[in-house]
């Protein structure tokens, strides 16, 4: 029986074989990998990944909320199904079960892509890399450098911990049903030795900075720093989008100290 895509799950199934092959080539499954796919859907990416996975890397773990799709996946060999909302999945426990860090992939539901990225951020030390299909607009924001309209809270909060690279654009016609937006594939490589800081403090600091992005930082971040009793120097005669990630990180470290 054909599966009817469910709008409440944001289901758009990838069907373009050239695009699928390009994604699998980018992921390049290797000996000993612990692969986890979020939202396998009908298996468009799952099955080609399985074909490329060495026996030592199996099973492929998939996280699927749709019970009908999860049941389909359980019928296939070398697939381990976690039937759950991805925002409730303990990726640390998955890494422990496999005895190694994870490689996380998937065509993420566009309606909750940002919450998923932040959820995974809390498990970043258990991850080798991440390859995701996302709305192109979101990928542009993730990978943006300072000085442009795409650079914002999402850019800073991901780039302090990952090297983020947009590696492929994907048109709507590559899906069934086609989404109303362009898509892109993003590669996220965690830094092996990230800056030592309190992530919650950085998030609060960055949220304050971008709360009034059209105004100079003295109107937003400046007041936040005053409330924290920070007496150091930071150039507040700039807009939030002009400050590089490294400066936000250094400020969070100074405030936290």
199-256 sits in which CATH class?
mainly alpha
Answer yes or no: is 85 a known binding residue: yes
pLDDT tens-place string over residues 40-93: 988 999 999 999 999 999 999 999 999 999 999 999 999 999 999 999 999 999
Say what the pTM is.
Answer: 0.91
Q: What is the mean pLDDT of the chain?
A: 93
Answer yes or no: is 64 a known binding residue: yes
Answer yes or no: is 134 a known binding residue: no
Q: Do 7-190 and 199-256 share a fold? A: no
| Residue 37 three-state SS | strand
CA nearest to 9, candidates 60, 90, 71, 85:
85
Q: Is 204 exposed, middle or buried (0-12, 13-18, 19+ CB in 10 A)?
A: middle
CB atoms within 10 A of CB 53: 20
Answer yes or no: is 219 a known binding residue: no
Answer yes or no: is 12 a known binding residue: yes
Q: Identify the pLDDT of residue 13.
A: 82
Q: Is 85 exposed, middle or buried (0-12, 13-18, 19+ CB in 10 A)?
A: exposed
* Domain boundaries defined on the chain: 7-190, 199-256
Instruction: For domain 7-190, give the fold.
Output: Rossmann fold (3.40.50)
Q: Identify the pLDDT of residue 8.
A: 45
Q: Identify the pLDDT of residue 179.
A: 85
Q: Identify the pLDDT of residue 11.
A: 56
**Phi/psi at 129 (5° precision):** -165, 170
| Residue 44 three-state SS | coil
The ranges of the chain with pLDDT < 50 are 1-10
Answer yes or no: is 25 a known binding residue: no
């Amino acid at each position: 029986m054909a599966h009817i895509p469910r709008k409440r799950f944001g289901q758009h199934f990838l069907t373009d074989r050239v695009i699928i092959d390009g994604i699998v080539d980018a992921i390049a499954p290797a000996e000993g990998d612990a692969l986890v796919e979020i939202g396998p859907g009908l298996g468009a990416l799952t099955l080609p990944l399985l074909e490329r996975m060495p026996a030592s890397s199996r099973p492929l773990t998939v996280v699927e909320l749709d019970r009908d799709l999860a049941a389909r996946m359980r019928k296939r060999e070398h697939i381990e199904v976690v039937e759950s909302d991805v925002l409730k999945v303990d990726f640390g426990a998955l890494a422990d079960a496999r005895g190694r860090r994870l490689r996380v992939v998937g065509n993420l539901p566009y309606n909750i892509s940002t919450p998923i990225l932040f959820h995974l951020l809390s498990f970043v030390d258990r991850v080798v890399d991440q390859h995701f299909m996302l709305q192109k607009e979101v990928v542009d924001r993730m990978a943006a450098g300072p000085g442009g309209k795409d650079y914002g809270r999402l850019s800073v909060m991901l780039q302090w911990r990952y090297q983020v690279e947009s590696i492929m654009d994907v048109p709507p016609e590559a899906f069934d049903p086609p989404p109303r937006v362009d898509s892109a594939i993003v590669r996220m490589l965690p830094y092996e030795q990230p800056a030592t800081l309190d992530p919650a403090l950085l998030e609060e600091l960055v949220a304050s900075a971008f709360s009034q992005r059209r105004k100079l930082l003295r109107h937003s971040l400046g007041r936040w720093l005053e409330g924290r009793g920070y007496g150091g120097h930071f150039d507040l005669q700039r807009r939030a989008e002009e400050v590089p990630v490294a400066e936000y990180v250094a400020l969070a470290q100074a405030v936290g100290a």
